[in-house]
Amino acid sequence: MTEQYGTDGETAPSARTWSGDVVVVGAGTAGCYAAATVAREGYDVVVVERKNEKEAGHIACGDALKGADAFPEAIPKEKIQPAFTNTDVDHGRFEIPKEDTVLEIPVPGELAVIDRWEYGRRIIDGAKDAGAEFHYDTVVQDVTQEDGRVTGVRAKRDGDVVEYESELLVDAAGSLSILQDKADFSDSTFDTNVTYSQFCSAYREIVHVEEPVEWDDALVFKPTTRAAGYLWYFPRTSTEINAGLGFQMNEEPMTLVEDLKRDLRNRPEFHGATVEDKLGAALPTRRPYDSAVAPGYMAVGDAAGHVNPTTGGGIAGAAYAGKYAGEQAIEALEVGDVSEHTLWRYNQRVMDHFGSRYAGLDIYNIFTTAVDVDDLMGMLGALPTEKLSEALYSGSANIGWRLKLQTAIDARDHWRFIYDLYKTKNVADEIIDHYDHYPTDPRGLPAWQEVRDDLMDKVYATTGAAPKY
């Protein structure tokens, strides 16, 4: 390794180049887990982070964590566990004002609400403990390539241009990553079918209330005035609440700050509350990238659609994406081959673990963009909570004819809507089944995509939604 930086991240005055095994861009969950996985095996890894050392890890998030019992061990769980501020949450609470109804829906698996900034600092420390180096205040401006292979990035730090040269580049730069705008993927399978309409704009505040809330064991959801948006109230503790909202970017914009404040003002439990922190972000609400690899390059976490923030699957999905990318990087470095063919196993592991489920959940997201919010809320009030839980957290649900007919009797005004949901569920099941047959080789991707795209045409025909991809 050619090293002209100190391990504390400071730059020597004449330093212009870092050269090593792996460059990771972004110090979020996926980036830190990828860096820790590779660094533990003794490889030279640097994490390039645009924020300063104090702000690194400060990321807009709902703070809900599903799957808290099954995190990758590249960063030991005991390292991050102190950031878990509420482990008593065990269900979702859906408030439906139009129906004057509150639904209590169980959430399978271990659930927690965390202090995201504290968690962010701890995963950075975990990656450092594993041997990764961190360069803060470093803004990536370009991707370097040679003969179709990504060879590193060009960045700016303290006014100086810095060249990062590596065998592998891990893109953990978040939603709508600038790296993907700069790189040339024309001769690779990397998914470039990415537009703003596949993302949501979100805003959250950390709010302290004077008295403990009654729902400190629940994740609270509430619809906005449009079907493609919702508010959330996630209790870090009984008196510290992560309150936020978001909407799909292809919808009419919301005034996020004012809309949230308006709802807070109308909730008695927030009278006299104080705001500790405010932050906004873009979040992917789309299926995972069909392929997140190119020669010398892997994308992880938000940068590859490997999260599902709607159901609390964002953090755990990103952690495992980082783990799988890190392990595939090690294999590629060991054999001296960073081609798509060698990196492809990373795609497979993502799809096998959670990618197919997230693709199924995306179908329901598409469904909600094509329906009236009042119909949607009425339907939610009619369906059994166990089936809703299955649909929200597994990607599908066994909504059979008997259930459809029974709910039609119980909610005659929504029977057509419920039937449309039933048809959508059937197509979602077909999508999930197809993802279970994800190709084992990049050469099989075009044929697989052709079948998947035919299934997506059925989704649009069934839901009436505008094409998302």
Name the residue among 173, 198, 454 with its Cα closest to residue 297. Answer: 173
| Residues 230 and 290 placed together within one structural domain of the fold | no
Q: What is the residue range of 222's domain?
A: 85-110+197-284
pLDDT at 340 over 80: yes
Exposure of 274 in the CB half-sphere (CA atoms within 13 A): 2
Residue where a domain terminates, one of 226, 250, 284: 284
Task: Tell which of 298, 331, 354 closes a domain.
Answer: 354
What one-letter code names the amino acid at 112? A
Task: Name residue 5's beta-bridge partners.
Answer: 11
Q: Tell me: pLDDT of 10 over 50.
A: no
Q: Does residue 110 surpass a pLDDT of 70?
A: yes
22 in any annotated domain: yes
Determine the Cα–Cα distance for residues 408 and 402; give it in Å rounded to an integer. Answer: 10
Domains: count for the chain: 3
From 7-21, 300-314, 433-447, the region with the lowest mean pLDDT: 7-21
More confident residue, 142 or 389: 142
Task: Report pTM.
Answer: 0.90
What is the helix (H) or strand (E) element at residue 319, kind and residue range? helix 314-335
Helix intervals (H) in 61-208: 77-80, 116-130, 178-182
**Structure confidence at residue 420 as a pLDDT band (50, 70, 90):** confident
The pLDDT value given to residue 385: 54
Q: Give the tens place of pLDDT for each residue, 157-201.
A: 988 999 999 999 999 999 999 999 999 999 999 999 999 889 989
The answer to whether residue 67 is domain-embedded is: no
Average pLDDT value for residue range 244-272? 90
Which pLDDT tens digit goes with each residue over 21-62? 999 999 999 999 999 999 999 999 999 999 999 999 999 988
Strand partners, 17: 163
In a domain, 423, yes or no: yes
**Structural tokens at position 352:** 């096998």
The three-class DSSP label of residue 111 is strand
Q: Locate all alpha helices (DSSP H) within 151-297, ordered by sequence.
A: 178-182, 256-265
3-state secondary structure of 175: coil
Q: With respect to residue 3, please indicate whether it lies within any of the assigned structural domains.
A: no
Strand order in the sheet with 274-284: 101-106, 91-96, 218-223, 229-235, 240-248, 199-208, 274-284
What is the CATH classification number for the domain harbouring 32?
A: 3.50.50.60
In a domain, 9, yes or no: no
Does residue 69 register a pLDDT over 80?
no
Task: List all residues 6 or more positions away from 248 whose beta carbon is below 8 Å from its beta carbon.
Answer: 197, 199, 200, 228, 229, 285, 369
Picking from 296, 319, 354, the residue at the C-terminal end of a domain is 354
Has residue 23 been placed in a domain?
yes
Residue 76 lies in a domain: no
The residue written with tokens 């060249």 in the block is 163
For residues 424 and 342, membership in a common domain is answered with no
Does residue 44 share a domain with residue 184?
yes
Q: Supply the pLDDT for residue 1.
A: 52
Residue 215 has pLDDT above 80, yes or no: yes
387 pLDDT higher than 70: no
Residues 301 and 419 in one domain: no
Q: What is the mean pLDDT of the chain?
A: 88
DSSP for residue 208 = E
pLDDT at 326 over 80: yes
How far from 51 is each of 115, 139, 284, 352, CA to CA, in Å?
19, 8, 21, 33
